[in-house]
Copies of this chain bind each other. A is one copy, B any other.
Amino acid sequence: MKDPSELPHPSRADLKLTQVLFALSDPARLAIVRHLAAGPQEMANCCAIDPNMPKSTKSHLMKVLREAGVIRNEAKGRNRLLSLRQDDIDARFPGLLQSVLAAE
């Protein structure tokens, strides 16, 4: 019984460095990644970043991060649980996330 509301996520082996770098190269997306570094958050809470942002735009940001393999986006009741795929990124690109998160 597969949940049809599950979104596609690339497998660890399919992560592409340039795609990950691109996903991180936008200030809004990088801010989300920084937020998630502290632990998984529900989308509704996490994006206190800019409450004025239309939800379709928010959803798009998450899509870019998800398709790059940077975050996981899972259904959780009526909400979405967002989490950083730290293990996967660390496994494929050791030190990358750490240095990005440490920067300034």
Knowing A17-B30, A30-B18, the reply to whether A96 touches B100 (Cβ < 8 A) is yes
Q: Check A25 for interface membership: any CB of B closer than 8 A.
A: yes
Distance of A79 from chain B, by nearest CB (Å): 28
The answer to whether A103 touches B99, judged by C-beta atoms less than 8 angstroms apart, is no
Q: Please classify the interface of chain A as helix (H, G, I), strand (E, B), loop, or mixed, using the class held by over half of its residues.
A: helix
Q: Write out the residue numbers on chain B whose beta carbons fall within 8 Å of the beta carbon of A25.
A: 18-19, 21-22, 25
4 further A-B pairs in the complex, CB-CB below 8 A; given A18-B27, A22-B25: A21-B25, A93-B100, A94-B102, A96-B96
Q: Which positions in A face B, CB cutoff 8 Å?
A: 17-19, 21-22, 24-27, 30, 92-96, 98-100, 102-104
21 contacts between A and B (CB under 8 A): A17-B30, A17-B100, A17-B103, A17-B104, A18-B24, A18-B25, A18-B27, A18-B30, A19-B25, A21-B21, A21-B25, A22-B22, A25-B25, A92-B103, A92-B104, A93-B100, A94-B99, A94-B102, A96-B99, A96-B100, A99-B99
